[in-house]
Amino acid sequence: MKQIVFASNNPHKLRELRELAGADMAILSLDDIGCHDDIPETADTFEGNALLKARWVKERYGYDCFADDSGLEVDALGGEPGVRSARYAGEGHDSAANNAKLLSRLSGTTDRRARFRTAIALLAGNDEPRFFNGSVEGEILTEAHGEGGFGYDPLFRPLGWAKTFAEATPDEKNAVSHRGNAVRLLMDFLSQQPWQ
């Protein structure tokens, strides 16, 4: 079975990735390899942050690795929260605080167009970095709906849907999500590689 490190300890992301990877690949977390570092995410793009994390693991721990950076971009806010999606309400705040800030910033705004974006950086073998990108278009609702998902999922309704990501089953979300789209590209690439 192929093994690769996903540079994350986020249980929600790990669960999604392992579901998408299926039985043919073992996805190891940072905890699984004994990495408890606070890996800096100082780039100003999703691709840059993903590469920083993947390089950190590859250079310090020697594992083939991929990392992602994901976020929400809201048109009326000039792309905010973007790369600061997880820290939108400030360091140490949670999803509820981030969602509250987003709703406050959009108060009175009729243009609610938004998208989730994911960039994955892969460092495997001696190859140059490879990037896999995914996105999903939608809109921000005026109040939260649903108990599932995480982050901004209760506020985000994909185009053509009658419900938010937080109201969707994991399979429904993975079928169209930004991360699902990027991970399918990654897994398709990895399945064709000879390394173990």
Residues identified as active-site? 69
Q: Which pairs count as long-range contacts for 156-159, CB under 8 Å and 24+ apart, including other chains?
A: 156/72, 156/114, 156/116
Q: Cβ(8)–Cβ(67) under 8 Å?
A: yes
| Calpha distance 171→163 (Å, rounded) | 14
Phi then psi dihedrals of residue 7, to 5 deg: -75, 70
Structure tokens at 50: 């993903």
Q: Kindly tell me the sign of the dihedral angle through the C-alpha atoms of 5, 128, 117, 190.
A: negative
